[in-house]
Structure 1
Amino acid sequence: MKKWLFPLFIVLSVLLGACSGNAKAVDEQATVKVGIRSSELRTWEYLKEQAEKEGIKIEIVNFSSAYDPNQALVEGEVDINAFQHVAYLESFNENTNSEVVPIGTTIIAPLGLYSSKYQALSEIPDGAQIAVPNDAPNWGRALLLLQEAGLLTVVDDFDGFGGEDKIKENPKNIEIVPVDGANAPRVMEDVAASVINNGVSLEAGLTLKDAIIHESQTAKPYINVIAAREQDKDKEIFQKIVEIYQSDETAAFIEETYQGNYLPINISLEELSTFKETYSNN
């Protein structure tokens, strides 16, 4: 009897060990680290709760403005991230020779022109200083907003990226002051107005209602995305998170929580890929 009990014990031990290993692998596979910035923390806390119902564990990694969540993604510190618009993502890839790709759209967070000195565009004097974010995509985005406001016009071959050479006409002799985007609210006292990213403005206690002017929700290059490494873009678990984000329930949560400052957007990646056409239409 002992002769066959011992081999049976060995087989059972191996099977139990394999099952335990598989369970561990499933647990690890079902845990996704998501890199974000604090402006969307409430959304991702909500998504974390919804994902748990689907058997997915989300670990939120909240990065400060000092560290780019794209770099964390490239280095494997997070599995996906959700903090940027598609124009910024393209700029990151070009500057770092990386392959981070969008896997789903999330929101538009409209850029606004804010001032502690003036209430209307007509009050902004000739020669006024206007602060803009100093990274190329958001600098370009700011120039388009100032063009929409009638303060300047961009060059004919505008590519969406900012710079001193991207202004074609400047009838009011506006002086553009590039600053770190996170500091744009702090310099409002020193300039006539600041162009501030929506997430940064919310953190500073400003809403779109406080802006002199803000961009429309049709600004396709500035649709925010969930992003992953190229080799991971088709992972089922990531696609499930995108599906949860793009649900009607999440849209309702965002609209109620942010009171119109964030606008849920659900378009295909194919449509998103045409975002550069927006520049040629200006």
Structure 2
Amino acid sequence: MSEQQSDLRASVESAGKKRRNIVIGAAGVAVVALVAGGAVIAANLGGGGDAGASAAEERLSLRLAVGEDNAYTDAVVASAADLGLDLEYVNVADWVLPNTEVASGEFDGNAFQHITYLSTFNAENGKDLTPQFSTIIVQWGVFSSTLESLDDLGRGARIALPDDPSNLGRALLILESAGVIEVDDAAGIKPTVDDVTDNPLGVEFVQIAALTIPQQFDDPSLDAVVVGTSYFDPKQGVTADDALFIDDALAETSLPYVNVVASRADNADDPAWAVLEEAYRDERVRDAIEEEFFGTTIPVDVPVDTLRERLAELEASASA
């Protein structure tokens, strides 16, 4: 097993162990709380007001840009508040502004992208945004409102793909894994339609903004779409079980698609990031992710050094 594969699968296994340990440890914490309660009350009666004011003054804060609203972020905000961090998420209009606004200093960081997308931004704009920690990875797949199987794809079928380079590449590689096309290996993880070396059905690739693809799911002019499972509105009732083909989100090749919280290099040492990471690992956040995304979005905890090393490799490749 490769190091990259271990990072992803081990992070999920580790999360499960941590959840079990939390349950086991809760009883012990409760006992300690009962014993300590009297001491806390005594301290407060003895003039603990100044200490409380000092704690309030020491609260940290972060303002993060996101590309879309996610209900589970409410759980992150609540967890962060409990840890002494005042967290504000600001939803901006598209997938460009969350990075440009962080680079300009308008925001402390952002939480919306995988490291492949981040590498493209840094390479194209000469910026140095860097991952602080990993958050989730989203399963992607091929979906259709009319076909029961990829075997039903006809000659000249029209398939919608994301129009941004990093997600276009991911979609093309998914179609290759599904046996629909073949892609030139030399293109790496960011192939374009020009890198398709075999297209036996003469599939037509319709490139549109990734966030709008679910809205085109029922378009009669499209035979299928390739997109993240979590992008669908829950009201659409489309889940991973409806996919004609689904990727392995924890495979070795999926590391570049791990989502991260990113910041500028010049504020990477802010102690608030460690508190925010702890908030993201909260069991309440994991439960909220499961409830909102029905198991199609997986919390992952990849070492930050691994994320930054992979980012540097992707940036070098993009620059070349």
TM class, shorter-length: 0.7 to 0.9
Q: TM-score, normalised by structure 1?
A: 0.82
**What is the correspondence of 1:1-282 to structure 2 with a 5 Å cutoff?**
26=57, 30-39=60-69, 41-65=70-94, 67-188=96-217, 189=219, 190-202=221-233, 205=236, 206-218=238-250, 219-272=254-307, 273-274=309-310
CA offsets per residue over residues 4-48 of structure 1, 9 Å max, x none? xxxxxxxxxxxxxxxxxxx8x956x72211112335x22211111
| Cα offset, 1:249, TM superposition | 4.4
Secondary structure of the residue aligned to 1:221 is helix
Q: CA deviation at 1:203?
A: 6.4
Larger Rg belongs to: 1
Matched residues in 1 for 2:93 and 2:243: separation?
A: 24
Superposed CA RMSD in Å reads 2.5
Q: 1:204 to 1:144 in 2, by over 3 A?
A: farther
In structure 2, the CA distance between the partners of 1:241 and 1:66, relative to structure 1 (3 Å rule), is closer
Q: Provide structure 2 residue ranges, at least 5 long, that are not aligned to the other structure.
A: 1-53, 315-320
Match of 2:17 in 1: none
Query: What's the TM-score once normalised by structure 2's chain length?
Result: 0.73
Counterpart-to-counterpart distance in 2, 1:49 and 1:186 = 31
Where 2:188 maps in the other structure, the secondary structure is coil
Alignment check: 8 A CA contact 2:79 2:282 kept? no
Alpha-carbon distance between aligned partners in 2 of 1:247 and 1:268, rounded to the nearest angstrom: 17
The share of aligned pairs that are identical, in percent, is 28
Distance apart, 1:98 and its partner CA: 1.1
Q: For the residues of structure 2 that align with 1:122 and 1:47, how far apart are their CA atoms?
A: 42
Task: Kindly tell me the number of residue pairs found equivalent between the two proteins.
Answer: 255
Query: Is there any run of 5+ residues in structure 1 with no aligned partner, and where?
Result: 1-22, 278-282
**Matched residue SS, 1:132:** strand
Q: Distance in 2 between matches of 1:137 and 1:66?
A: 12
1:185–1:204 contact (8 Å) kept in structure 2: no
Give, in whole Å, the separation in 1 of the partners of 2:105 and 2:173.
35
Higher helix share: 2
Matched residue of 2:131: which SS? Answer: strand
